[in-house]
Amino acid sequence: MFIKYFNLIKPKIVIGNLISCLGSFLLASKGNINFVLLFNTLIGMFAVLSSSCMLNNLIDHDIDHKMQRTQNRICILNSITFYLIFFIALFFSLFGFIFLYTFCNIFISILSLIGFLIYVILYSLFMKRYYIHSILIGSLSGSIPPIIGYCSVTNNFDYCAFILFIIYIFWQIPHSYSSMIYNICDYRKIDIKILPIVKGILLTKKYIIFYIIIFSLSSLFLYLFNYVGYKYLIIISCVDFFWFFISCIGFIYLDNDIIWSRCVYLYSLLIIILFNFMISIDYII
């Protein structure tokens, strides 16, 4: 029973965002880590992220029961009332905003509010179901946690923060498109306009390759602007190239789109983990 309640916050999404927050925090710290500030940042972000995911569950409850991968979510099974979920989410969000403001700085508290509003209101409530390129808006909110981690240390939005923001935007788009293709059978059961269904899988593959190229080029700027070292450059360049290679295979084996998209999706997770690891250890003072 605990697992079902815990899944209400979408722990995989929350953990993934906390990892990106942590990596950027360590990059900004450059070895001089303020562990109290780190703990406070992660606690505040956990609360805000959990609230966002709970509200997203409420917004999507009418379509989640139609999809196999989401039909066992706790709000679908009516194991807990919508009002209770809403008030828990409201408490988490207010706690997170106030906690970040009190124990970190006002700048990242405002950033967390912006990310929250983009994800819950602009993306989940208004754009997700009606626009095939809504993921472009969703990627904005997903790019804010690493900025929060970085600016928690610097209290300043500098060139490095902007580069991180761009990198995460262009990582999330092919990551999300590959997930859409992999779960396309589920998406066909509901009335949501996604690129693979409206424009076709072949065009989506082209978008995936395009954004992987932009992501790969963007990730070089951390090295070019002297924020990270050559070890980062070598490793990230290699894994980026292999991601591009895997994406190109999708134009050769056209009858294995599900398997291919799953590989692209899983590899994107590996890339972002390696990315955060490398910026954490190969920073330049």
The string of DSSP codes covering 106-133 is: HHHHHHHHHHHHIIIIIIIIIITTT-TT
Domain ranges of the chain: 1-155, 158-285
Average pLDDT over residues 187-191: 81
Interval 139-188: pLDDT, tens: 999 999 999 999 999 999 999 999 999 999 999 999 999 999 998 888 88
pTM over 0.75: yes
Tell me the C-alpha distance between 14 and 17, whole Å.
5
Residue 80 reports pLDDT greater than 80: no
Tokens standing for residue 194? 């996604």
Pair 58, 86: CB distance under 8 Å: yes
Tokens standing for residue 39? 């703990």
Tokens standing for residue 199? 């424009």
CATH of 1-155, one of 1.10.357.140, 2.40.50.140, 3.40.50.12160, 2.40.50.100: 1.10.357.140
Tell me the C-alpha distance between 238 and 244, whole Å.
10
Residue 185: per-residue pLDDT: 84
Tokens standing for residue 90? 């409201």
Tell me the C-alpha distance between 10 and 4, whole Å.
10
Percent of the chain with pLDDT over 70: 92
4-8, 59-63, 272-276: least confident range = 4-8
| 3-state secondary structure at position 253 | coil
φ/ψ bin of 32: left (φ > 0), alpha (ψ from -120 to 50), beta (otherwise): beta
Tell me how far apart the terminal alpha carbons of the chain are, to the nearest angstrom: 48
DSSP code at position 156: S
Average pLDDT over residues 40-67: 88
Residue 228 phi/psi, 5-degree rounding, is: -135, 170
Tell me the C-alpha distance between 223 and 220, whole Å.
5
φ/ψ bin of 155: left (φ > 0), alpha (ψ from -120 to 50), beta (otherwise): left
Residue 41 reports pLDDT greater than 90: yes
Rg (CA), the chain: 19
